[in-house]
């Protein structure tokens, strides 16, 4: 089984860290390859960043199709381009926010999301509503940590994230935590030990869901809304996205 993990930002070191976490939970016989697009933002922290990350993401989906990938993980908590990627891909495509929220609902009656910047909190709430997870989601909390700061070993990111997780349990009544950034994947186990509650990272959750769908022979429905994109010309910078 071949799963392609796509980090929609262009920071390769972050992609490598996510891929290591994904490979650690993958079953024997599952090959996880991690990629960053050749174009797009260095990090995704706004609607603008997210919109401009989608073309590069879709390029990687198309490349994965040519290379015979069985499933895909979109490793950004905003789940950018998820529906478009599902139109394009033959196999399942899993967004990490959708995966993490559903996994959390299976192990606890409530969860809070702990994310990076407050400006992205509304995006997380929107996804909770879209995925039918509002009744489980107690709160979306921000640590005011820039995404790329998660990679800085001199930062106090882990301590600040852990403290926010503790506050979520105490103040929100949450019984589990969803980490709201793919760049937090390598902190998941340590934070769970520190706070004594389930902590769900969407990268690893999405890999296990992707494996399950492939093993069950399930792929995205191709009738109606998620059928392949119609043949069409695109122009200017998007010329290469034209479909014959």
Residues 181 and 150 sit within 8 Å (Cβ to Cβ): yes
**Do 2-96+204-241 and 98-201 agree at the fold level?**
yes
Supply the pLDDT for residue 153. Answer: 83
Fold of 2-96+204-241: Rossmann fold (3.40.50)
d(CA 228, CA 244) in angstroms, rounded, equals 12
| Residue 15 banded pLDDT, cuts 50, 70, 90 | very high
Q: Which residue in 113, 115, 118, 131 sits closest to 174, CA to CA?
A: 113
Segment 179-192 shows an average pLDDT of: 95
Domain ranges of the chain: 2-96+204-241, 98-201
In the chain, the largest separation of any two C-alpha atoms, in whole Å, equals: 56
Which residues, in sequence order, are CB contacts of 214 under 8 Å at separation 6+? 1, 3, 70, 71, 91, 92
Q: 113-164 pLDDT, tens per residue?
A: 999 999 999 999 999 999 999 999 999 999 999 999 998 888 899 999 999 9
Mean pLDDT, rounded, of the chain: 96
Supply the pLDDT for residue 18. Answer: 97
| Predicted model pTM | 0.96
Q: 21-51 pLDDT, tens per residue?
A: 999 999 999 999 999 999 999 999 999 999 9
Fold of 98-201: Rossmann fold (3.40.50)
- Write down the residue that tokens 């990627």 correspond to: 85
Segment 96-104 shows an average pLDDT of: 98
């Amino acid at each position: 089984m071949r799963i392609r993990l796509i980090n929609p930002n262009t920071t390769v070191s972050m992609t490598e860290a996510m891929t290591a976490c994904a490979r650690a939970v993958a079953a024997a016989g599952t090959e996880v390859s991690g990629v960053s697009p050749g174009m797009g933002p260095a990090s995704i922290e706004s609607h603008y960043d997210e919109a401009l990350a989608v073309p590069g993401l879709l390029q990687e989906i198309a490349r994965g199709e040519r290379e015979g990938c069985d499933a895909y993980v979109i490793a950004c908590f905003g789940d950018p381009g998820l529906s478009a990627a599902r139109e394009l891909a033959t196999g399942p495509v899993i967004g990490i926010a959708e995966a993490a929220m559903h996994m959390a609902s299976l192990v606890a009656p409530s969860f809070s999301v702990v994310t990076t910047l407050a400006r992205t909190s509304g995006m997380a709430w929107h996804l909770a509503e879209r995925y039918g997870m509002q009744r489980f989601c107690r709160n979306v909390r921000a640590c005011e940590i820039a995404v790329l700061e998660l990679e800085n070993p001199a930062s106090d990111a882990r301590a600040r994230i852990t403290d926010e997780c503790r506050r979520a349990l105490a103040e929100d009544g949450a019984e589990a935590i969803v980490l709201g950034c793919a760049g937090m994947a390598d902190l998941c186990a340590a934070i769970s030990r520190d706070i004594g509650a389930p902590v769900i990272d969407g990268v690893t959750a999405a890999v296990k869901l992707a494996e399950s769908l492939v093993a069950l022979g399930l792929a995205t429905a191709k009738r109606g809304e998620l059928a392949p994109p119609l043949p069409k010309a695109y122009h200017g910078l998007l010329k290469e996205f034209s479909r014959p």
